[in-house]
């Protein structure tokens, strides 16, 4: 496929521009890139303080709330920042689209690489926290979920980056949509709280966001089985079907309209 070939052919350019993108976001500050790690870390800690120590919210089966919360929130922030950043990337790099011959296909990848530095940091913090409380992760499941998350991000942002370029208002709408998904996804609340609503529970479990958040969380919290064997087999199939359909659809939209990007920027 042309898209995969372009990524592989230009992987060094994408990697270098991704690193520069991350550094340039904080180029005019004294602490530099540290702000990129500090801000989401403080955000996560505030949630922990509020729910574990103020509302005294327990995790499932009596586990500390911080152990249950940190992996799920790290995954959500990876997904959210990846989608928002990559969706705006073509407009952010408009000078590359308009002034030079540049493989437009890799521009959303540049943003995903830039955001992956913070995501990796949050995954490491979540892992250290869980191990400190005695919850050792299933390494293979962690790797599988992270790979699945980036496959999903590639699929989704192939569509959203094209639409955000052609329809500027979509960027604002996407921000609202992601806020809604945050509260509909069990990031700060537990699926067991709505277990009596079977239809709603099944619908929420079918969402790719839920699959990724609970998948990473289960890698730390569950001592038996894995994401596929523990009653998630059907949701694994649904996740990959949705991801593949999104990629095919998004790739069609992107490829069809990329020749018009320079005209609308």
Secondary structure of 152-198 in HEC code, one letter for each residue: HHHHHHHHHHHHHHHCCHHHHHHHHHHHHHHHHCCCCCCHHHHCCCH
Measured CA to CA, the distance from residue 125 to residue 96 in angstroms comes to 35
Q: How many domains does the chain have?
A: 1
pLDDT, one tens digit per residue, over 108-122 is 999 999 999 999 999
Nearest to 133 by CA among 67, 73, 74, 188: 67
72 within 8 A of 213, measured Cβ to Cβ: yes
* 47 — pLDDT class (breaks 50, 70, 90): confident
What's the pLDDT score for residue 44?
86
What b/e readout covers 101-130, taking b as 16+ CB neighbours within 10 angstroms? ebbbbbbbbbbbbbbbbbbebbbebbbebb
Q: How many residues are listed for the chain in this entry?
A: 265
Please compute, for residue 85, the number of CA atoms within 13 A of its CA located in the half-sphere on the CB side. 23
Q: Where does the pLDDT of residue 175 fall: very low under 50, low under 70, confident under 90, or very high at 90 and above?
A: very high
- Tell me: pLDDT of 12 over 80: yes
What would the mean pLDDT of 162-184 be, rounded to a whole number?
93
> Tokens 């919850």 belong to which residue?
135
Neighbours of 29 (CB within 10 A): 11
Model confidence at 35, pLDDT cuts 50, 70, 90, reads: confident
153 vs 21, more confident: 153
Q: What confidence category does residue 223 fall into, taking pLDDT thresholds of 50, 70 and 90?
A: low
What is the residue range of 90's domain? 2-264
């Amino acid at each position: 496929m042309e898209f995969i070939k372009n990524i592989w052919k230009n992987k060094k350019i994408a990697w270098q521009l991704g690193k520069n993108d991350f550094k340039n976001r904080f180029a005019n500050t004294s602490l530099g890139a540290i702000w990129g790690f500090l801000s989401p870390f403080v955000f996560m800690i505030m949630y922990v303080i509020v729910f574990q120590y103020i509302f005294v919210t327990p995790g499932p089966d009596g586990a500390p709330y911080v152990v249950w919360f940190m992996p799920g929130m790290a995954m959500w922030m990876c997904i959210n920042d990846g989608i928002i950043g990559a969706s705006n990337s073509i407009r952010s790099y408009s000078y590359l689209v308009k002034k030079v011959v540049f493989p437009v296909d890799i521009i959303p990848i540049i943003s995903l690489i830039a955001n992956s530095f913070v995501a990796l940091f949050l995954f490491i913090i979540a892992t250290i926290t869980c191990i400190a409380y005695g919850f050792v992760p299933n390494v293979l499941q962690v790797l599988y979920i992270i790979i699945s998350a980036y496959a999903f991000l590639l699929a989704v942002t192939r569509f959203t980056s094209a639409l955000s370029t052609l329809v500027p208002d979509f960027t604002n709408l996407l921000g609202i949509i992601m806020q809604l998904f945050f509260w509909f996804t069990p990031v700060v609340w537990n699926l067991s709280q709505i277990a009596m609503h079977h239809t709603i529970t099944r619908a929420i479990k079918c969402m790719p966001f839920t699959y990724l958040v609970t998948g990473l969380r289960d890698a730390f919290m569950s001592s038996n089985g894995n994401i596929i064997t523990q009653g998630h087999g059907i949701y694994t199939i649904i996740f990959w079907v949705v991801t593949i359909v999104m990629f095919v659809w998004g790739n069609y939209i992107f490829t069809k309209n990329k020749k018009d990007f320079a005209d609308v920027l």
